[in-house]
Amino acid sequence: MLQCEPWVYIYHRKHIDTGQRFGFKGVKMQRYLKSVIILIILTLPFTLNAQLTYDTLDLGNGISIPMVLIPPGTFMMGPDSLHCTQIAAQGSWYLNQVQCPQHQVTITKPYWLGVTEVTQAQFAAIMGDSIITYSTSRNSRGPNYPAYLNVSPTRARDFCSHVAELTGKPVRLPTDAEWEYACRAGTTTKYFWGETTVQQSLYVAPSGDFSQVGSRQPNPWGLYDIAGNVWEYVGDNNYTTPTVPETDPNHYNGAYNCAILRGGGILDNWYWSASRLAQVCGSGADHTIRVAADYTGTNIINNKTGQKRNERSIHCSPNPFNPSTTITINGLQPQVRSVVKIYNGEGSLVTTLNTGSSEHAVIFWNAANLPSGMYYIRAVVGSKVLRTRALLLK
């Protein structure tokens, strides 16, 4: 058992099932030192040194795309001088793919980025393609594998446009700089997990095979398969490496059917955070999408970015959780107990909890015997019904 320090969150995720009914609705993983104690049973812990905010893009029929909010900041884009030398030794073709030397990039606004690569189920829901279920030399395919067959730059951009039209949200491909910034997640090493491949198996599937999304651990900013698995399109077209600092760069020049690739593919020497393919055009082969969306000052689904002081509210922390979370209710009436009911994604009641009679109630919920998925939490406080969602990840 571990008690986390303020604004440090530790949890472990073994698998994401994007076929389930995600719906974070702007849920924040928050911890207030005086009111919440987070106790988590840990296996293979991963530390997140930032507050993570999750949300979803609802595609309908129980299918949605989980998103995480990426904070603004400044980073050095491209390999450092040592790594540039190592790349140059492999040949001019490899050197032409990356950005040597490094240059400074500043991202001034937060933005949403897909927690995983777009799955076959998500792609089929928008584009009408059939989910690939046949077996190949790379194992079986299915709804939770990345969409990778016949996904050209044109179809990748069309997918984002259709999702934007469906949801009314500014969905797009991430820029080249946004992708690398999010992949690095504040790190400066060759890989986001360090300088060597010792820990690679924790974050990257074995070479030569595609894996279901979310099969490994995420990077520090909650992104799964950001290294390895399938090459991911970004919105930029090929451009010359800048020699001066950039701010919010966007190098799309109108070539709709061409795009830069990021993400490392399935070869060990492509897992560097700075690895890229300068540009591909035309039909896609083993390429996929990780969607982005502009941050407009509110969460994707609603405007519940926080509560006013003393306002009645309910939230879970951490969220997502595995296997335990605390449910905090503020604004209870003194001397009045409240009943908290928890329902699964099918609407069936799974747990009933009783609060204390203080103004602020903190309830510990251990869901170790329940399956992964979205749970709906409901409490009645006076005349007001409070609701929130919690995502259990195992």
The length of the chain is: 394
Which residue, 139, 312, 111, is CA-closest to 215? 139
pLDDT, residue 105, reads 95
Residue 138: per-residue pLDDT? 54
The pLDDT assigned to 74 comes to 95
**Residues of the chain falling short of pLDDT 50:** 1-50, 134-135, 137, 300-310
- pLDDT, one tens digit per residue, over 33-89 is 233 322 222 222 333 334 578 888 989 888 899 999 999 999 999 888 888 888 888
Spell out a b/e string for 120-159, using b for 16 or more CB atoms within 10 Å of the CB, else e. Answer: bbbbbbbeeeebbeeeeeeeebebbbbbbbebbbbbbbeb
pTM here is: 0.65
Q: What is the pLDDT of residues 214-270, one digit of tens each?
A: 888 888 898 998 888 888 999 999 998 898 999 999 999 999 999 999 987 655 556
- Nearest Cα to 79, choosing from 97, 66, 61, 93? 97
In angstroms, rounded to a whole number, what is the distance separating the alpha carbons of residues 116 and 98? 23
> What pLDDT, on a 0 to 100 scale, did the predictor assign at position 53?
81
Query: If phi over 0 gives left and psi between -120 and 50 gives alpha, with beta otherwise, what is residue 62?
Result: left
| Domains and their CATH numbers in the chain | 53-294 (3.90.1580.10), 313-392 (2.60.40.1930)
Phi, psi (5° rounding) for residue 165?
A: -65, -40
pLDDT at residue 154 in the model: 92
Q: Would you state the pLDDT for residue 275?
A: 80
Dist. CA 168–CA 57, nearest whole Å: 10
pLDDT score at 389: 80
Query: Could you tell me if 106 and 74 are in contact, meaning their C-beta atoms sit under 8 angstroms apart?
Result: yes
- What is the Cα–Cα distance from 32 to 4, expressed in whole angstroms? 11
Residue 159 tokens read as: 């997918």
CA-to-CA distance for 3 and 10, rounded, in angstroms? 10
pLDDT reported for residue 269: 59
Helix axes 153-167, 120-127, angle to 10 degrees: 70
Cα 15 to chain center, whole Å? 13
pLDDT of residue 327: 85
Secondary structure of the chain in HEC code, one letter for each residue: CEECCCCCEEECCCCCCCCCCCCCCCCECCCCCCCCCCEECCCCCEEECCCCEEEEEEEECCEEEEEEEECCEEEEECCCHHHHHHHHHHCHHHHHHCCCCCEEEEECCCEEEECCCCEHHHHHHHHCCCCCCCEECCEECCCCCECCECCCHHHHHHHHHHHHHHHCCCEECCCHHHHHHHHHCCCCCCECCECCCCCHHHHCCCCCCCCCCCCCCCCCCCCCCCCCCCEEECCCCCCCCCCCCEECCCCCCCCCCEEEEECCCCCHHHCCCCCEEEEEECCCECEEECCEEECCCCCCCCCCCCCCCCCCEEEEECCCECCEEEEEEECCCCCCCCEEEEECCCCCEEEEEECCCCCEEEEEEECCCCCCEEEEEEEEECCEEEEEEEEECC
Phi-psi region of 153 (alpha: psi -120 to 50; beta: other; left: phi over 0): alpha
d(CA 196, CA 272): 10
Q: Using CA of residue 196, residue 197, residue 201, residue 207, what is the dihedral sign?
A: positive
Q: How far is CA 40 from CA 322, 361, 367, in A?
A: 7, 19, 11
Give the whole-angstrom CA distance, residue 237 versus residue 279.
7
Chain centroid to CA 70:
9
Rounded Cα gap, residues 72 and 3, in angstroms: 28
